[in-house]
Amino acid sequence: MDNNQVVKKTIFSGIQPSGNLTIGNYLGALKNWVALQDDYNCLFCSVDMHSITVRQTPAELRRRSVEMLALYMAAGIDPEKNILFIQSHVPAHAELAWVLNCYTMFGELSRMTQFKEKSQKHSENINAGLFTYPVLMAADILLYQADLVPVGLDQKQHLEITRDIAMRFNGVYGDTFTIPEPYIPKIGMKIMSLTEPDKKMSKSDVSGGSVGILDRRDDIIRKIKRAVTDSGSEIVYADGKDGINNLLTIYCGFTGKTIEEAEKEFAGMGYGVFKEAVGEVVADHLGALQARFNEILADKEYLNSMLKTNAEKAAYLARKTLSKVYRKVGFYQPK
């Protein structure tokens, strides 16, 4: 290898194919992922195994698992440069998760915030998978020796437990796993609900506070026109103006403008004119993305071939790690 050649770091990330992806997912995750693909070895996954901790309609889960990857591609993620795959197509995720379960403490899992929240939300179905969910997430990351994991604040705790599990295993058996670091983009975009601008925009929101990537044009514009603002009239980014701050962030996310440029552009204009402009920009951008998405989805032969090829690439990398783990814990493997 050329001494000047830089070894690219590996990034792993995935989104659950449950609920409809929002512009928050697009601006906060997908758009950042597109920017990573030339500088890193990236694996982007549709994490369908995580989805079943909550009951799913099987046909819908199958459809959404494929649609998720089609959305990744429509957003600009190239399946030739990156490994795009469905989690359940690589059995090593579940296999490593079992081993890691035996190196994860009950107390660690019981302290996980997401488990507490989901247990309250789905009190009729507090299953073991919901409890051990962070271990499967650790397996997702550690299987590929990921150096970096893009995480939001809500996932930070999961990355911390992944690091703890990896260090514990390495401490017993020697250097086995890369200890992953969080990847924090230079410009982090946190998109808030349009109806409750102090809360993050959510895939499961049914109040009209979230804009889905696949929403119809009329619905996008209507939701943004109805967005909660404040009693003022100035379009400036400031404390106490959560609704306007959020709309400015959305506008800048889709146009590439800075907050200062947007403030100048709308100086002296009313909230109505501003909301209309934001709605049009978002609807235009998503309209083009939806057209690409529909083209990709229509070519079933290509999609299935891509899924098969990329699952094989992921499985090859995963098997290397799993074999090493199996050998270290003492599982007999015939030559």
Instruction: Give me the active site residues, please.
Output: 118, 200, 203
Rounded-to-integer distance, Cα 130 and Cα 148, Å = 24
Here the contacts of 81-84 (C-beta below 8 Å, separation 24 or greater) are 81/37, 81/38, 81/42, 82/37, 82/42, 82/43, 82/44, 83/42, 83/43, 83/44, 83/310, 83/313, 83/314, 83/317, 84/44, 84/45, 84/306, 84/307, 84/310
182: three-class secondary structure by DSSP: strand
CA nearest neighbour of 83 among 292, 289, 297, 308: 308
Between the CA atoms of 107, 113, 117 and 120, what dihedral angle is there, to the nearest 10 degrees? Answer: 20
Cβ contact 136:12 at 8 Å: no
The residues, any chain, with a CB within 8 Å of residue 281's CB and separated by 6 or more, are 251, 254, 255
What's the burial of 39, exposed, middle or buried (CB within 10 Å: 0-12/13-18/19+)?
Answer: exposed
Instruction: Give, in order, the Cα–Cα distances in Å from 120 to each of 112, 123, 301, 317.
Output: 13, 5, 42, 37
Taking phi over 0 as left and psi of -120 to 50 as alpha, with beta for the rest, 234 belongs to beta
Please answer whether residues 254 and 282 qualify as being in contact, where contact means their C-beta atoms are separated by less than 8 angstroms: yes
- CA-nearest of 86, 149, 138, 94 to 112 is 138
Neighbours of 307 (CB within 10 A): 19
